[in-house]
C-alpha cells in the first residue's frame, strides 16, 4: 500500500479467495487496515480511484453503469460476507 497509496499501516489478512473469469485467474488476499492519514495515490501505479460507500458499490453493480473489474467484485462480496459474520458473532456473543 505504501507504493500505491502512500499508506504505512499494519495489515490484517482477513481471507483468501479465488477469482476465475475469462480475463482473470488468480488467488487473491483481502486485507484490512486502520489508517487516519493523508492518502497519496501514485499515478504510475493507479490510473483512477474513488471512495465509495457500500450502497454506491451495490448500485453500480445493479445498474451496470460503471465497469468494475471482476476481481474487485469478488473481493467486495467476500468482504461483505466476512463483515456480516463478524457482526452476527458480536450480536450473539453476549448470550454465551
Q: What is the pLDDT of residue 94?
A: 66
Q: Tens digit of pLDDT for each residue in 33-56?
A: 999 999 999 999 888 888 889 999
Burial of 14 (0-12, 13-18, 19+ CB in 10 A): middle
Question: Is pLDDT at 8 greater than 60 in this prediction?
Answer: yes
Helix (H, G, I), strand (E, B) or coil at 32: strand
Q: Tens digit of pLDDT for each residue in 42-95?
A: 999 888 888 889 999 889 889 987 778 888 889 999 999 998 888 888 888 865
Amino acid at each position: 500500500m505504501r507504493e500505491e497509496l502512500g499508506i504505512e499501516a499494519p495489515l490484517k489478512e482477513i481471507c483468501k479467495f479465488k477469482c476465475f473469469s475469462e480475463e482473470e485467474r488468480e488467488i487473491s488476499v483481502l486485507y484490512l487496515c486502520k489508517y487516519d492519514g493523508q492518502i497519496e495515490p501514485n499515478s504510475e501505479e493507479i490510473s483512477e480511484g474513488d471512495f465509495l460507500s457500500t450502497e454506491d458499490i451495490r448500485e453500480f453493480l445493479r445498474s451496470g453503469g460503471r465497469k468494475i473489474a471482476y476481481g474487485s467484485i469478488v473481493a467486495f462480496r467476500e468482504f461483505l460476507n466476512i463483515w456480516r459474520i463478524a457482526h452476527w458473532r458480536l450480536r450473539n456473543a453476549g448470550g454465551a
